Structure 1
Amino acid sequence: MSTHGLLVGAAALFLGTHFLLSHPWREPLVRRMGEGPFRGLYSLVALLTFGALLWIYRGIGRETPLWGAGDGLWAAATLVMWAASILFVGSFRGNPALAGAPSAKGRPAGVLAITRHPMMWSFALWAFVHSALIATPKAFVLDATILILALGGAAGQDAKKERLSGERWRSWEAQTSFLPFGRGLAFPGWFALVGGTLLLLVATWAHPVPAGLWRWFG
């Protein structure tokens, strides 16, 4: 099998075990093992499978991009990553989709008025930007894995919350949107806007290659 075939196989293994342990296998394993040991198993499997994916990815070495990333693409990517950073920071405030968070209540505010899955969409946007800028076969596999994990995980969260919370979550779904801005434009809030801007500036400053505004003003 080629190294790219191994990479695809590792990606499939990572995604498959993640979704199986997150949904159909979770309840029976928790009943048999207990919550604590299951979380340990879940973390170990995720670490090993994702570690294998990254090990194969790095082992492939440098690849020739299928297209060049000029200033126009970098500028668009910076704007998209700004939005992703805002969603990511805002997701930590009042997000009922986070593990252990209180059930959804009241009207959506901040980034939750943009999408009910701001953290997952931040990962999906990162994967999209990374794929567009790197433009290599191995990057497409890695980024597709993150994209499927993020958006598939968001859909799985909706189904799980509907089962556990019933009408309360369905009411929340009726007030929110899976797709960003699916219910119209919304202001993310100053906490998310300022925090996301700072996160983008720090992350792009520390990036291995000049990125964000530092590409032009660094």
Structure 2
Amino acid sequence: MNPMSLLIATAVLFVGSHLLLSHPLRDGLASRLGERGFQIVYSIVAFATFIPLVQAWRAMPPEAPLWTVDEPLWALATLIVLFASILFMGSLIGNPALPSPKAAFAAQGAPRGVFAITRHPMMWGFALWAFAHALVMPTGAQLLLSATIAFLALVGSAGQDAKKARLMGDAWRHWAARTSFVPFGRQVAGAAPWGDAIPRGHALFGGILLWLAATWGHGALGYMAAGIWRWIG
């Protein structure tokens, strides 16, 4: 199997296993294993399929970039990763989309901060992170890897809407009616004030710290310098 075919195969395995476990197989496995047991199995499968995907990506031969990557494009990608980091950190507290016994209670609150931006801030964080990498590493292998992560994040979010509506009923439907799938969708439509979408402290400062640490680690681990370290390193 040539390197690109192997990368495609591992990407299909990664996405397919996630979607199967998240939706058609979830209820049956959770009823047999319990919620905690299911989460353990899900995590094992996730790592077991992600590692071959990364190994296949690393094994790709050098490729010519599909477009020129200049400093303005790097600056744009840096800002996108910062925004993605803020969304991710904000999603860790009070998120009705996470598997938690307090999810229905969290859904009763007014959407604020990252949840006023999108009801799936964690998944959009992953998707935007993948998009930023595609911007500055425009090779066939990186585009495939980024598309795999973005597809799983956004299609998985759409599936999560249906699953949560089934599990939480009106609590989730009311939450969905007051939030947007697409970032800033309600603000652009005039259905919510822009002030509601200002990230809260844990999202803003936690996101900045995550962004600084992750971009510093990018260079420290031997990859190309990223983030502000590209200009101040």
Q: What are the superposed Cα offsets for residues 155-189 of structure 1, whole Å, 9 maximum, x if unpaired?
A: 11111110011111111011100011011132112
Q: How many Å separate the matches in 2 of 1:33 and 1:94?
A: 26
Single out whichever of 21-30 and 177-186 deviates more from structure 2.
21-30
Q: How does 1:65-144 map to 2 (within 5 A)?
A: 65-100=65-100, 101-103=102-104, 104-144=107-147
Q: Does 1:167 align with 2:174?
A: no
Q: Does 1:154 align with 2:157?
A: yes
Q: Percent same amino acid at aligned positions? A: 55
Give TM-score scaled by structure 2 length: 0.87
AA of the residue aligned to 2:204: L
Change (3 A) 1:198 1:45: closer
Counterpart residue number, 2:209 = 198
Q: How many Å separate the matches in 1 of 2:209 and 2:41?
A: 35
Unmatched 5+ residue regions in structure 2?
A: 188-193
SS at structure 2 position matched to 1:64: coil
Change (3 A) 1:36 1:93: closer
Counterpart residue number, 2:190 = none
Change (3 A) 1:32 1:86: closer
Q: How many Å separate the matches in 2 of 1:45 and 1:150?
A: 16
Query: RMSD across aligned C-alpha pairs, in angstroms?
Result: 1.6
Change (3 A) 1:18 1:8: same
Give TM-score scaled by structure 1 length: 0.93
SS at structure 2 position matched to 1:149: helix
Q: How many Å separate the matches in 2 of 1:178 and 1:88?
A: 15
SS at structure 1 position matched to 2:53: helix
Q: How many Å separate the matches in 2 of 1:76 and 1:87?
A: 17
Counterpart residue number, 1:18 = 18
Shift of 1:36: 4.7
Q: What are the superposed Cα offsets for residues 51-101 of structure 1, whole Å, 9 maximum, x if unpaired?
A: 111121111143222223110101111111111111111111211111224
Q: How many Å separate the matches in 2 of 1:39 and 1:102?
A: 16
Q: Does 1:44 align with 2:47?
A: no
Q: How many Å separate the matches in 2 of 1:32 and 1:95?
A: 26
Single out whichever of 172-181 and 95-104 deviates more from structure 2.
95-104
